[in-house]
Amino acid sequence: MKIGGTFISSLDYPGRISLVISTGGCPLKCPYCHNPELIDGGDEVSLISIFKKIDDATEFVDSVALTGGEPILQFNAVKEILAYAKSRGLETKLDTNGIYPEKLSEILYLADYVSLDIKCPFDKYSEIIGADIGKKVKKSMEIISSYPETFLECRTTYVPGLMKPEDIKQISREIKCDVYTLQQFRNRKVLDSSLDKIPSPSPHELKKIGEMIKPILNKVKIKTAEFGEEII
């Protein structure tokens, strides 16, 4: 399979220490993508070598987190990794953009936690990221929501200029999840160079938006470089 690398993290899976596997390849080209080098793939490695990394990490971690790129693009390999992690007694987390709802439904039983990217309101995907996949993302959300064993985090990266606070309010009315995370856009590395000069929203700005949508949603968090994750 193709990966961008592996690392140990206490941030990717809330409350867990994870071996994070960054998978290569993504069918989308979001202008604010912060891992553009992974869109066309990564380094080719064997599943045996991935399993060895999991074995070597079991003394230090309690979970395996798969991120990307888009992990489900390499469906068979990801399914085997999740199954292997579970066989070693580790919890599992999957990050996805929701573009493959049918395939996602086939591996949910192997995922304890799913982070689903909600890029924008479902009816604005073509306008904001250039891909008309809103209905697929919504279907993925509905499938995960119907699976009580899997914790669902919906998350949106707030990019000033591409989105407005009203878009976040619309998202909050459209989603169903266990927690909604509003993430801070960072311009240090993005796919579209025209976004290089767009400043990151301040923690205060994100908190203000979070407070605006709090009455609509059960649990809201903001995630910033300055303060990490904060529950609103």
Q: CA-to-CA distance for 122 and 28, rounded, in angstroms?
A: 15
Task: Find out whether 189 and 32 touch, Cβ atoms under 8 Å.
Answer: no
Q: What is the pLDDT of residues 195-228, one digit of tens each?
A: 888 889 999 999 999 999 999 998 999 999 999 9
- Please state, as a whole number, how many other Cβ atoms lie within 10 Å of the Cβ of residue 131: 17
125 touches 117 (CB < 8 A): no
Asked if 186 and 227 touch (Cβ cutoff 8 Å), the reply is no
Rounded mean pLDDT, 19-24: 96
Question: Rounded distance, CA 166 to CA 121, Å?
Answer: 10
Q: What percent of the chain has pLDDT over 70?
A: 100
Alpha-carbon distances of 204 from 34, 138, 226, rounded to whole Å: 22, 29, 11
Cβ contact 123:142 at 8 Å: no
Q: What is the pLDDT of residues 155-195, one digit of tens each?
A: 999 999 899 999 999 999 999 999 999 999 988 778 888 78
β-strands 63-67, 18-23 pairing: parallel
Measured CA to CA, the distance from residue 229 to residue 231 in angstroms comes to 7
Separation between Cα atoms, residue 90 and residue 221, nearest integer Å: 25
* 7-21 per-position pLDDT tens digit: 999 999 999 999 999
For the chain, domains (ranges, CATH) are: 2-231 (3.20.20.70)
